[in-house]
Amino acid sequence: MGDLDILGFLLWYFAFLFSLTAHEAAHAWAAYRGGDPTAYLGGQVTLNPLPHIQREPLGTVLVPLFTFFRNGEMMGWASAPYDPLWADRQPRRAAWMAAAGPASNLAIAATVFLLLKVLLEAGVLAVPPRWRWSPSRLVVPAWQGAPLWALGACQLASILLHLNLLLFCFNLLPLPPLDGSGILAGLFPRQLGGLFRALRENPMFAILGLLVAWYFFGRMYGPIFLLVILLLYTPL
């Protein structure tokens, strides 16, 4: 691989680990604040990716590497443990725990979006001359002969915006085992919510839910992403 290929790989993996770690740490922190110390005792309330990698090495190392070299983007997963008995006793707090993960991704995406918007308006960054569906090339330096670190910073910001918008939207789908189903489970009456949580924890329903979610998500994310990019590129 050339220098830019190696740089792209490193930036993707950094953005992936940071976004996923923030997501799971938010789950763990919300559960701890809500009275469930399970993830806290497991060392998950941290932005250090190592405890999350140790818990899910397949989803945080092997699958991201495979998907990057196959598709040029990274996919994977992590998880934060929680006490299901606590979730049954405190369904509203469990719903807040489920919402905390996507909320962290929305916060990252919004922060990056605002930073890029300011820099575009100030003329520090520019829209790529031939922009297409390239989530890792949303902005470029506005000056000629930009050094490698400036190109890398633009690419990292682009990846973070795309990846966190994707994680936010995907995880809000109300299908097991995604966070959207956990939010609904906490809002339903207790018996119905308990049934919904049981479906989330059933491996067969989890696999089915992921397949259905990915089928519909492929059709809904494109318009959402394009709308965000139009908002980013349209001058104030």
Does the pLDDT value for residue 175 go beyond 90?
no
Report the C-alpha gap between 34 and 51 in whole angstroms: 21
Please state the separation of Cα 89 from the chain's center in Å. Answer: 28
Taking only the tens place, the pLDDT of each residue in 155-172 is 999 999 999 999 999 999
Q: Based on the residue annotation, tell me whether 73 is a catalytic residue of this protein.
A: no
Name the average pLDDT for the chain.
Answer: 90
Coil/strand/helix, residue 140: strand
Domain boundaries, the chain: 3-233
Q: What is the pLDDT of residue 223?
A: 93
Confidence of residue 196 (pLDDT cuts 50, 70, 90): low
Length of the chain: 236
Give 125's strand partners: 141
Report the C-alpha gap between 81 and 84 in whole angstroms: 9
Report the C-alpha gap between 107 and 162 in whole angstroms: 13
Confidence of residue 103 (pLDDT cuts 50, 70, 90): very high
Q: Quote the pTM value.
A: 0.92
Residue spans of alpha helices (H) in 122-189: 148-171, 179-187
Please state the separation of Cα 69 from the chain's center in Å. Answer: 20
Does the pLDDT value for residue 2 go beyond 70?
no
Does the pLDDT value for residue 3 go beyond 60?
no
DSSP string, 15-56: HHHHHHHHHHHHHHHHHHHTT--HHHHTT-SSS-HHHHHHH-
Active-site pick, 24, 56, 73, 121: 24
Q: Residues of 70-96 as b/e, b for ≥16 C-beta within 10 angstroms? A: eeebbbbebbbbbbbebbeebbebbbb
Question: Can you tell me the mean pLDDT for 43-70?
Answer: 95
Question: Can you tell me the mean pLDDT for 163-191?
Answer: 87
- The first and second tokens of residue 102, run together, are 């996507």
Does the pLDDT value for residue 122 go beyond 90?
yes
- The first and second tokens of residue 122, run together, are 């100030």
Residue 122, amino acid = A
